[in-house]
């Protein structure tokens, strides 16, 4: 006879325990880590998480929140349908947005990583030292474990970056090619410049 896990002796069992832990998690928690916490097999945790996610998407009344697998774990998120209301409540007069310069720098790092400050500056055409410090402080980027040419520090995005964008991996970043000008567009821009 197998031993009963301590979580199974509490009301609601594993599902309620998962809800309790994930409710206070500020980063996604992996199935493996949750299995350690509750002292149950990882397969059982994975099954319970999928069951909860489906339950929150219920046909009778979907909840205002959802349980999502993102980055390398699971976390509760408010449902995107209510984003305007949640933003109004959370921000309430304060701005938590990144500046245009920070967003541009973050995009360069996301698409070109690992990338050095010098390369980012060359792409953007401006000094990015303070912006890179801001992104490091906010936890959106981190130093790459290896150095680049000439010993330059390289930067990459973090799991927190993926989490904030609701992505499972960098492979889910949108393709840039639809937003880039074609050869014909570049030629028309060149001719317009010379005509002026």
pLDDT (0 to 100) of residue 84: 86
Cα–Cα nearest to 156, from 113, 125, 189:
113
Please spell the DSSP secondary structure of 117-172, one letter per residue.
HHHHHHHHTS--HHHHHHHHHTTSEEEEEEE-GGG-EEEEE-HHHHHHHT-SSGGG
All CATH 1.10.10.10 domain ranges of the chain, comma separated, are 6-88, 100-175
**How far, CA to CA in Å, does 84 sit from each of 32, 96, 103, 188?**
34, 14, 21, 40
pLDDT (0 to 100) of residue 191: 52
- What does the pLDDT profile of the chain (196 residues) look like in tens digits? 467 889 999 999 999 999 999 988 878 899 999 999 999 999 999 999 999 999 998 877 888 999 999 878 999 888 888 888 887 776 654 455 788 889 999 999 999 999 999 999 999 988 898 899 889 988 899 999 988 888 889 999 999 999 888 888 898 888 877 766 665 555 555 554 444 4
CATH number for the 100-175 domain, one of 3.30.2310.20, 1.10.10.10, 3.40.50.1820, 3.90.1150.200? 1.10.10.10
The alpha-carbon radius of gyration of the chain (Å, integer) is 22
**How far, CA to CA in Å, does 107 sit from each of 62, 72, 135?**
34, 21, 11
Please spell the DSSP secondary structure of 57-118, one letter per residue.
T-SS---SEEEEEETTEEEEEE-GGGHHHHHHHHHTT---PPPHHHHHHHHHHHHH-SEEHH
Q: What is the CATH architecture of 6-88?
A: Orthogonal Bundle (1.10)
pLDDT (0 to 100) of residue 165: 85
Cα–Cα nearest to 48, from 72, 22, 25:
22
Six-digit token string for 97: 């947005």
pLDDT (0 to 100) of residue 13: 93
Q: Which residues of 78-95 are buried (b: 16+ CB within 10 A; e: fewer)?
A: beeeeeeeeeeeeeeeee
**How far, CA to CA in Å, does 155 sit from each of 13, 91, 122, 127, 185?**
43, 29, 15, 15, 32
pLDDT (0 to 100) of residue 27: 84
């Amino acid at each position: 006879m197998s031993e009963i896990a301590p979580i199974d002796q509490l009301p609601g069992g594993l599902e309620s325990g998962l809800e309790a832990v994930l409710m206070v998690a500020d980063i996604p928690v992996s199935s493996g880590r949750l299995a350690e916490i509750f002292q149950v097999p990882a397969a059982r945790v994975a099954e319970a998480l999928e069951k909860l996610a489906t339950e929150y998407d219920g046909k009778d009344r979907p909840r205002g929140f959802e349980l999502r697998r993102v980055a390398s774990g699971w976390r509760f998120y408010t449902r995107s349908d209510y984003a305007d209301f949640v933003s109004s409540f959370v921000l309430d007069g304060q701005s938590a947005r990144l500046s245009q310069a920070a967003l541009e720098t973050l995009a360069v790092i996301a698409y070109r990583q690992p990338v050095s400050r010098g390369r980012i500056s060359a792409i953007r055409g401006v000094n990015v030292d303070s912006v890179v410090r801001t992104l490091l402080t906010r936890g959106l980027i981190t130093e790459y474990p290896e150095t680049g040419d000439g010993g330059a520090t390289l930067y990459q995005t973090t799991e927190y970056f993926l989490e904030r964008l609701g992505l499972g991996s960098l492979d889910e970043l949108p393709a840039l090619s639809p937003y880039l000008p074609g050869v014909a567009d570049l030629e028309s821009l060149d001719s317009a410049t010379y005509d002026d």
